[in-house]
Amino acid sequence: MHDDLLGPLPSRLDRRQFLTRAGWTGLGAGALVAGARRAHAQPRVAYPDWIAASSNPPKRGGVLTRASSWDPPVIDPRLTQSIGLHQFAVLVGNRLVRYAFADEASGPTDLTLKGDLAESWQPSPDHRVWTFKLRQGVKWQNVPPLNGREFVAADVKYCFEAYAKEGAQSFTFQEIEAIETPDKYTVRIHLKTPNVLFPQNVAEPITILFAREVLEQDGDLKKHLIGTGPYILKEHTRKVKVVLARNPDYFDKGRPYFDEYVILSTPDAATRMAAFRTGQSDIIWLASPSEVETVRKTNPNAVVQSYHNTLTPFGVALAQDKPPFNDVRVRRALSMAIDRQKQADTLFEGHGIIGWGVPYIYYQDKAPTLADLGPWWQYRPAEAKKLLAAAGHPNGFETTLFYYEYFPQMTSQVQLVQQDLKRNLNIDVKITKLDYTTYYGRYAESKWDGMSWGFQSGHAVGLDERTYQYMHSKSTKNFFRVNDPVIDQLTTKLRQTPDRADQRALTKKIVDREFDQVLRMWMPYDNGFLVFQPHLRNGAALALRRTDGYGASAIARVWADK
């Protein structure tokens, strides 16, 4: 009725006609898209794993911007090891010692220690006392209440004692028995037990030195973070951005090169990619080769570094203090029933590592192959079944596994393990996916049964952290519940072995023992790529320290060639 009255009749279209036309339109569009995709299909490019430092003289100025998925939970470095904070805290503060930056390193696996706030360091003959000689003339940033006063040995003592007293870094500093400051520029640290690796521990990015005045004034460091570093924290707006301004009084004259470093809180991966494509972000981390290819379609000049992990942070943790996982045969059977190569090929598009926990660079030159990991790490389902039967479980058993999805592929990875164990060993794994807080609380409490998708934290570079601290039965970081007297003995001995060659040999023994006993059942992990805008220089990531993460102190050496 209303049609007749509103004016000329529009042409009628019945449902069938409409659906037919819509269907043909859709088919046509689909064919066009498919054709376009085929036309653009290209073979994969191999990207370099190292980008050498530029030989051109660095240029000053400009703003470096990075869209980051991480937000700092708090800015008090005593309270968290979160990458959200340490992606920039290490630019505000300095450590006593640091690792080589990209423009100083011979390659990504160069782990040479360099002085940061310390110029030199010497151990006592028994390695229980370490003496650090501080750089002279270093000033705190020129902001109240520090106002550029000189950095002295008493600051180190105050800071280390505060770290040891409470908070997330206390483990590292609790091995300190006493600290002496014989003069303004000398710090003498007495350890409870000998540790040849102590300088590595104070080179970790989480050990930055903060200003005592702020802690005394505010009672915490949640509002102000002041250090001696290359950048001053100018602004921190939660869930928006962190703005760092160049510190004109930085002791390393001429550096940093950028006037500002802006970290934009960008939780969504697609948005981070869009930000890079449109030039709003200068650095991006991409997980897979296909993502790199996608970005290079719009940004063909982007510089890509193919990153190669030296360890995997994730693996299956077993309640190995209880049956059935206290039986090494069960652990070995489980390990042999899991097809790791399939995970690496399918989930990480072939750009992943098979999985091991101690960074290989501490015991050999090349990344281990699957064969190097030993017999229990090969995919041999028939042998696995026999071994499980010999351990008294011919018909399998039921168990549980809880996890938190750290990255999107993890759920598929957990399900692949579940399928492998069911198909090959008739083990029924009941999976529970948890949110982070629940997962972490349960995992760190170490009172769980069955299995968990375990982790080791991402910040640590040092060998001590990766061996003694994560594997010694008495360590509070022994999340995988390793309780092996041989490991205890070897990791303790490692702390007393100063010679680098001996350290390598000892580390290899620790790793071999771990593999043989399947103490931590490591799983494949992606390698990823660091992608830079073409004008960036000296930003290459190094082993265990990515420029966009815990290795952010290297940003002080990055500059723009434009």
Partner 1 sequence: MYKYVIRRLMLAVPVLVLSSLIVFGLMRVMPGDALTALMGESGNIGERELAKIRKDLRLDLPYHEQYLLWIWQMVSLHPGDSIFTGEPIAVSLGKAIPVTLELAALAMVLGLVIAVPIGVLSATRQDTASDYVGRVVAVSGLSLPDFWLGTLVITFAAIWFHWIPAIGYVSFWESPLRNLQQFLLPAAVLGFRLSAATMRMTRSTVLEVLREDYVRTAWAKGLEGRIVVYKHALKNALIPVVTIVGGQLGVLLAGTVVVETIFALPGMGRLTVEAILFRDYPVVQTNVMLVAGTLVSLNLLVDLTYAWLDPRIRYR
Does 16 bind partner 1 (CB under 8 A)? Our answer is: no
Does 440 bind partner 1 (CB under 8 A)? Our answer is: yes
Nearer to partner 1, 265 or 496 (CB): 265
Does 6 bind partner 1 (CB under 8 A)? Our answer is: yes
- Which residue type does 517 have? Q
Tell me the HSE value of 409 on the side-chain side, using a 13 A CA sphere. 18
Q: What angle do CA 83, 78, 118 make, to 5 degrees?
A: 90
Does 42 bind partner 1 (CB under 8 A)? Our answer is: no
Does 1 bind partner 1 (CB under 8 A)? Our answer is: yes
**Rounded least distance, CB 85 to partner 1, Å:** 10
**Of positions 43, 435, 485, 501, contacts partner 1 by CB under 8 A:** 435
**Of positions 142, 181, 280, 418, contacts partner 1 by CB under 8 A:** 280
Stretch binding partner 1 (CB under 8 A), from 164-172, 303-311, 392-400, 553-561: 164-172
**Rounded least distance, CB 14 to partner 1, Å:** 8
**Of positions 2, 38, 366, 474, contacts partner 1 by CB under 8 A:** 2
Does 164 bind partner 1 (CB under 8 A)? Our answer is: no
Nearer to partner 1, 39 or 46 (CB): 39
88 to 117: interface string for partner 1, x by CB under 8 A? ------------------------------
Q: Please count the other Cβ atoms lying within 10 Å of the Cβ belonging to residue 149.
A: 13
Compute φ and ψ for 249, nearest 5 degrees.
Answer: -100, 15
- Which residue type does 150 have? E
Distance, CA of 210 to CA of 217 (rounded, Å): 13
Q: Please count the other Cβ atoms lying within 10 Å of the Cβ belonging to residue 96.
A: 26
SS3 386: helix
Distance, CA of 363 to CA of 504 (rounded, Å): 4
**Of positions 29, 45, 63, 240, contacts partner 1 by CB under 8 A:** 240
**Rounded least distance, CB 554 to partner 1, Å:** 22
Nearer to partner 1, 218 or 428 (CB): 218
Q: How far is CA 20 from CA 26, 28, 30, 33, in A?
A: 10, 12, 15, 20
**Rounded least distance, CB 319 to partner 1, Å:** 17
Distance, CA of 60 to CA of 539 (rounded, Å): 15
**Of positions 112, 193, 278, 415, contacts partner 1 by CB under 8 A:** 278
**Rounded least distance, CB 376 to partner 1, Å:** 27
Sign of torsion, CA 178 458 554 139? Answer: negative
Nearest to 92 by CA among 135, 141, 134, 136: 141
Both tokens of 365, joined, read 């030159």
- Which residue type does 301 have? N
**Cβ proximity of 535 and 561 under 8 Å:** yes
Does 341 bind partner 1 (CB under 8 A)? Our answer is: no
**Rounded least distance, CB 354 to partner 1, Å:** 23
**Cβ proximity of 399 and 451 under 8 Å:** yes
Both tokens of 344, joined, read 């690496």
Q: Which of residues 200-229 bind partner 1 (CB under 8 A)?
A: 220, 222
H helical segments located in 146-249: 153-165, 170-174, 198-201, 212-218
Nearer to partner 1, 280 or 418 (CB): 280
Does 364 bind partner 1 (CB under 8 A)? Our answer is: no
Stretch binding partner 1 (CB under 8 A), from 1-9, 123-131, 148-156, 546-554: 1-9
Please name the helix (run of DSSP H) or strand (run of DSSP E) that holds residue 17, with its range, or none. Answer: helix 15-40
End-to-end CA separation in angstroms for the chain:
69
SS3 447: coil
Q: Are strands 398-403 and 451-455 parallel, antiparallel or unpaired?
A: parallel
H helical segments located in 283-380: 289-298, 328-336, 340-347
Nearer to partner 1, 168 or 389 (CB): 168
Nearer to partner 1, 63 or 154 (CB): 63
**Of positions 89, 208, 209, 262, contacts partner 1 by CB under 8 A:** 262
User: How many Å separate Cα 42 from the centre of its chain?
Assistant: 31
Stretch binding partner 1 (CB under 8 A), from 301-309, 318-326, 415-423, 450-458: 450-458
284 to 313: interface string for partner 1, x by CB under 8 A? --------------x---------------
**Of positions 107, 323, 392, 441, contacts partner 1 by CB under 8 A:** 441
**Cβ proximity of 403 and 433 under 8 Å:** yes
Q: Which of residues 17-36 bind partner 1 (CB under 8 A)?
A: 18, 22
The site for partner 1, by CB under 8 A, has a size of: 66
**Of positions 50, 53, 79, 296, contacts partner 1 by CB under 8 A:** 79
SS3 542: strand
**Of positions 119, 268, 428, 502, contacts partner 1 by CB under 8 A:** 268
Distance, CA of 382 to CA of 390 (rounded, Å): 13
469 to 508: interface string for partner 1, x by CB under 8 A? -------xx-x-----------------------------
Could you list the residues that contact partner 1 (CB under 8 A)? 1-3, 5-7, 10-15, 18, 22, 67, 71, 73-74, 79-82, 166-171, 220, 222, 237-241, 262, 264-268, 270-271, 273-275, 277-281, 298, 435-438, 440-442, 444, 455, 457-458, 476-477, 479
